[in-house]
């Protein structure tokens, strides 16, 4: 199978704070499959590290108050092109670009709300099957025997 995956989940230090969120369990599950690593924030041209960004009322804002909505949409569209041939995509929960199920509320206070990040929404609009890294059992079932 060909699987799109948030680059930070594979160990790439691309997060806003210069870290990764490598998931050994996920990578073990995906062994033998072709991985297409994506990061909408990197594709958008954000530096590493950069100011935290969150979605507030359909706008993506940096901690300093800068509106980076269009910049993030640009990166999300570039990543969409990269994963169009993938069987499904696995994205990083809580991220303003890749979050699926939950994202931060835009107050930069650590409060989570129901919602999806910009790239996750774009994938869903294009009928691409999307999982979060927390959906490990579903991912195992999907990749079993393939």
Count the residues in the chain: 146
Q: Give percent above pLDDT 90 in the chain.
A: 97
The pLDDT, as a whole number, for residue 146 is 57
> pLDDT digits over 24-63, tens only?
999 999 999 999 999 999 999 999 999 999 999 899 999 9
Whole-model pTM over 0.85? yes
pLDDT of residue 9: 98
Residue range 62-81, pLDDT digits in tens: 999 999 999 999 999 999 99
- For 3-68, give the secondary structure using H, E and C: EEEEHHHHCCCCCCCCCCCCCHHHHHHCCCCEEEEECHHHHCCCCCCCCCEEEECCEEEECCCCEC
- The closest of 37, 57, 41 to 49, measured between CA atoms, is 41
Q: Kindly report, residue by residue over 85-136, the tens digit of the pLDDT.
A: 999 999 999 999 999 999 999 999 999 999 999 999 999 999 999 999 999 9
Predicted local distance difference test score (pLDDT) of residue 134? 94
* Cα(53)–Cα(33) distance, integer angstroms: 32
pLDDT at 16: 95
């Amino acid at each position: 199978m060909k699987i799109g995956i948030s680059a930070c989940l594979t160990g790439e230090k691309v997060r806003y704070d210069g870290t990764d969120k490598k998931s050994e369990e996920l990578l073990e599950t995906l062994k033998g499959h072709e991985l297409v690593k994506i990061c909408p924030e990197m594709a958008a041209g954000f530096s590493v590290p950069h100011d935290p960004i969150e979605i507030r009322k359909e706008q993506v804002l940096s901690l300093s108050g800068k509106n980076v909505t269009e910049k993030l949409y640009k990166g999300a569209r570039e990543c969409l092109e990269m994963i169009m041939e993938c069987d499904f995509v696995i994205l990083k929960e809580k991220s303003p670009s890749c979050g699926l199920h939950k994202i931060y509320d835009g107050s930069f206070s650590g409060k989570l709300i129901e919602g999806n990040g910009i790239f996750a929404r774009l994938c869903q609009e294009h009928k691409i099957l999307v999982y979060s890294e927390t959906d490990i059992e579903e991912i195992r079932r999907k990749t079993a025997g393939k």
